Amino acid sequence: MARENKSSLTVGVAQIAPIWLDRERTLAKVGRWITRAADRKCKLVAFGEALVPGYPWWIEHTDGARFNSPMQKRLHAHYLDQAVDLDAGHLDATSTLARKRKITVVLGTIERPRDRGGHSLYCSLVVIAADGSIASVHRKLMPTHEERLSWAPGDGHGLRTHRLGAFTLGALNCWENWMPLVRAAMYAQGEDLHVASWPGSDYNTRDVTRFAAREGRSYVLAASSLMRRRDIPDSVPHAAALRKRIPPALGNGGSCIAGPDGEWIAPPVTDRETLIVRTIDHRRVREERQNFDAAGHYGRPDVTHLTVDRRRQGTVSLRD
């Protein structure tokens, strides 16, 4: 009987389109792809940035910076209605499925947190552990460009890593993967399996995935989404007007996996929904760390030292 390789882990990247701006139907779709990943023996499955209920693609194409625009206000109100409220149990079914199938899930969401009043949105990566618990919620530190018209800036509370078999898992949103100090914060916590979550473009994933893998001497899973004009459902306000203004393809995917030497394990896949599944071996991390370990033998904390504030930020401290 063959001995189990405790150094290996089967991982999946689910590249799918949301049922755009429809939380319940998108979560149902996420559940089907979690099941598909578990059926293929994955112990981890990662999804794209802001997948539930979707990225705010309308802003760029509808004069989103116009002040007091009735169209922008209505779309934003709908976005709030469809956002994820963890306190309301919106991810309970996903957590139950993760526990049932014993799989860790990294899920991009738009969060509407009550600890910030419940009326602002955060681009949040949620890590659901294989026991069904919410292991971390990382609110994107700095929304990029037009995202700032929709999302509020987050904090460092979710800059955490999690043990997963022989690996230490971490995850960042989109252009956070370009932020050297944020990457360093993850390396210092032992990260050697990184999920980079993106809204949908091989323009973003093609370069930084291999760079981050080689710098971190880690496996990097770039999880990206699809978004096409045909993915706009009639339930979205101004759906007909949006279809006239939005190009046929907004997000073409680009999900991929790179190894600790920076070489492709699975090169970027575009223009189709797919589940990328690979079995990775922690031995490759240890081999590549022989000549470079950013937070270990190649670190010089006596010369440069990073301080990370992981407190959840709020606007009030109540004492009754």
174 as an active site residue: the answer is yes
pTM of the full structure = 0.95
Q: Which residues contact 37 (CB under 8 A, 6 or more apart)?
A: 12, 14, 45, 103, 275, 277
29 as an active site residue: the answer is no
Give the phi and the psi of residue 303 in degrees, each rounded to 5. Answer: -105, -50
- What pLDDT, on the 0 to 100 scale, is given for residue 5? 74
- What pLDDT, on the 0 to 100 scale, is given for residue 1? 45
- What pLDDT, on the 0 to 100 scale, is given for residue 4? 57
At 119-153, the pLDDT tens digits run 999 999 999 999 999 999 999 999 999 999 999 99
Among 42, 49, 147, 191, the active-site one is 49
What CATH number labels 9-288?
3.60.110.10
140 as an active site residue: the answer is yes
At 272-305, the pLDDT tens digits run 999 999 999 999 999 999 999 999 999 999 999 9
Cα torsion through 201, 127, 118, 143, rounded to 10: -30
Among 29, 43, 123, 140, the active-site one is 140
Please, what is the average pLDDT of the chain?
Answer: 96
- CB atoms closer than 10 angstroms to residue 6: 9
Among 174, 176, 256, 288, the active-site one is 174
